[in-house]
Amino acid sequence: MRIELVKRKEHSRLMTMLSPVIAVALTLIAAALLFAVTGKDPALGLYLFFIEPLTDTWSLQEIVVKATPLVLIACGLSVCYLSNNWNIGAEGQFVFGAICGCFLPILYPGFENAATLPLMLVFGALGGAAWALIPAVLKTRFNTNEILTSLMLVYVAGLLLDYLVRGPWRDPDGFNFPESRIFSDAATLPVIGDGRMSLSAPIAVLVVIVLAVVLAKTLKGFEIRVMGESPRAGAFAGFSSKRLTLFAFALAGALAGLAGTMEVSGSLNQLLPSISPGYGFTAIIVAFLGRLNPIGILIAGFVLALSYIGGEAVQASMGVSDKIASVIQGLLLFFVLACDTLILYKIRFAMARRAAPAGEASHV
C-alpha cells in the first residue's frame, strides 16, 4: 500500500481563508506539547510566549521593531513566489544591502547632512537588488536552480560582513571589538516614542499599501499573477518570463536591502558581525502565512515578531533553550504548508502493484 496525493478538481475557498488560522491553532497545540515534554508548565509557557508580550508597552514597541524587517522582506518575497520564482536568499540580500547602505557613515564619517540618510537607504536598496540579481541572471542565462544559488549567497554575504567588521571597517576607537564605528545623528533613523521603534515602521506600512495596489490594480500585478499561474498563457499574452524573473528578484532584493539598512541605522546604529536573527528565513514563513498578500503579510509579520519576543520571555522566565522561538516558527511553517497541501490535494491509499516474477511472459 502506498499513499498518494491527488489534486482536487475544486477546493474550498472558506478553508483557504481559514488555513492560516488553523495553522496557528495547531502550532499552539504543538507548542503546549513541546513545553510539557521539556517538563515545563504548558499553560504558563503559552502565556509567556503569546500573551505577556502584548500586555507591556515596551514589548509592543519591540514587536513593531521586529515586525518591520519581516514585513518588508516578505513583501518582496511574495512577488517572487507569486511569479513562480523561488528566492530563498533574502537573508543574504538583507545583509549585503546593510553593508552597501553603511559605507557612507563608516568610510566617510564626516559626510553629515540632510542627504546622508536618504543616500544610505538608496544604496542599501541598490545593494540588495544587485545581490538578488545574481541568482536571477544565472537562472535566466544558464537555467541554474535559483533556490541553491540564492541560498549559497546567504553565507557569502554573512562571511563578507564578518570580514569587514573584524578587519577594514572595524572601529579604530572600539578597543579591538568586532564592530564598526557608531553612526552619526545624520545617519540614524529618527526614533518614534521612547523605545527603539524608528521611522522604518511607517515606511514598511507605506510599502505594504503601495504593493497591495500594484498587485491588485496594475498591469504589472496582472502579469505577476498570470506568469505565476500559467507561464504558457503569459507567453501568449506577450509577457516575458525572463524579464519578470529579473524584476521579481530585483524588487525582493531591494526591499530586503532597504530593511537591512534601516535595521543597522535604526535599531543597531552600527555594523556588527551578526545583524539579523534570521529575518530573511523567517520572512518566508511570514509570506506564506500572509497568503502572499501584502495586507496579510502585515498581520503575519506581527505574529512572527511576537515569537521572537515570546521566545526571549520564556527563556528568561522558564529557563528553556533560546532556540524555542526557531522551533515554534518551524512548526508554524510546517502546519501552514500542510494545511495548504490538504486543501489542494486529497490523500488516497493505493495498493502497490505486484511485480511480475522473473521470466514470466507478458500477455498482450
Q: Residue ranges per domain, the chain?
A: 2-349
Correct CATH for 2-349 of 2.60.120, 1.20.120, 1.10.1740, 1.10.3470:
1.10.3470
* Predicted confidence (pLDDT) per residue in 184-238, tens digit: 889 999 988 777 888 999 999 999 999 999 999 999 999 999 999 888 888 888 8
68: closest CA among 304, 349, 352, 337? 304
pLDDT of residue 20 exceeding 80, the answer is yes
For residue 149 the three cell numbers come to: 544559488
Q: Which amino acid is at 342?
A: L
Residue 180 CA to residue 166 CA, distance in Å, equals: 8
Q: Which residues contact 65 (CB under 8 A, 6 or more apart)?
A: 195, 196, 197, 198, 201, 267, 305
- For the chain, give the percent of residues with pLDDT over 90: 57
pLDDT at 322 over 50: yes
Q: Which of 219, 255, 220, 248 is nearest to 139 (CA)?
A: 248
Number of C-beta neighbours around residue 130 at 10 A:
17
SS3 350: strand
Torsion-angle region of 4 (φ positive above 0: left; ψ -120 to 50: alpha; else: beta):
beta
Q: In 10 A of CB 299, how many CB atoms? A: 15
Whether residue 328 is predicted with pLDDT greater than 70 in this model: the reply is yes
pLDDT for the residue 230:
87
Q: Would you state the pLDDT for residue 364?
A: 43
pLDDT value at residue 352: 60
Is a pLDDT exceeding 60 seen at residue 359?
A: no
- Crossing angle, helix 324-344 and helix 13-37, to 10 degrees? 150
- pLDDT of 85 above 60: yes
**The pLDDT of residue 109:** 87
How sure is the predictor about 95, in pLDDT bands with cuts at 50, 70 and 90? Answer: very high
For range 318-322, the mean pLDDT:
82
Report the chain's C-alpha Rg in angstroms.
23
- Asked if the model's pLDDT at residue 51 lies above 60, the reply is yes
pLDDT tops 80 at residue 11: no
Of residues 257, 278, 287, the one with CA closest to residue 80? 287
Q: What is the band of 269 on the pLDDT scale with cuts at 50, 70, 90?
A: confident
Report the chain's mean pLDDT, rounded to a whole number: 89
Residue 320 pLDDT > 90, yes or no? no
For 141-175, what is each residue's pLDDT tens digit?
999 999 999 999 999 999 999 999 999 999 888 77
Q: What is the pLDDT of residue 360?
A: 53
Distance set, CA 307 to CA 24, 34, 166, 296, 315 (Å): 12, 15, 31, 17, 12
Q: Which residues contact 145 (CB under 8 A, 6 or more apart)?
A: 139
78-87: burial string, b at 16+ Cβ within 10 Å, e else: bbbbbbbbbb
Helices 116-142, 90-101: axis angle to 10 degrees equals 140
At 214 the pLDDT is 95
Q: Dig out the grid coordinates for 313 from the structure.
A: 520571555
The rounded distance, in Å, linking the Cα atoms of 305 and 62 is 8
pLDDT at 362: 47
If one counts every other C-beta atom within 10 angstroms of the C-beta of residue 155, the result is 13
Q: Is the pLDDT of residue 82 over 90?
A: yes
Cell of 192: 518614534
* Start-end of H helices in the chain: 13-37, 42-46, 57-82, 90-101, 103-107, 116-142, 146-166, 200-217, 219-229, 231-236, 241-262, 279-289, 294-318, 324-344
Measuring CA to CA, which residue among 160, 179, 168, 145 is closest to residue 92?
160
Is 125 in contact with 99 (CB distance < 8 Å)? no
Give the percent of the chain with pLDDT over 70: 96
What is the identity of the amino acid at 207? V
In this predicted structure, what is the pLDDT of residue 337? 87
Per-residue model confidence (pLDDT) at position 232: 86
The pTM of the full predicted model, rounded to 2 decimals, is 0.89
Is pLDDT larger for residue 196 or for residue 265? 265
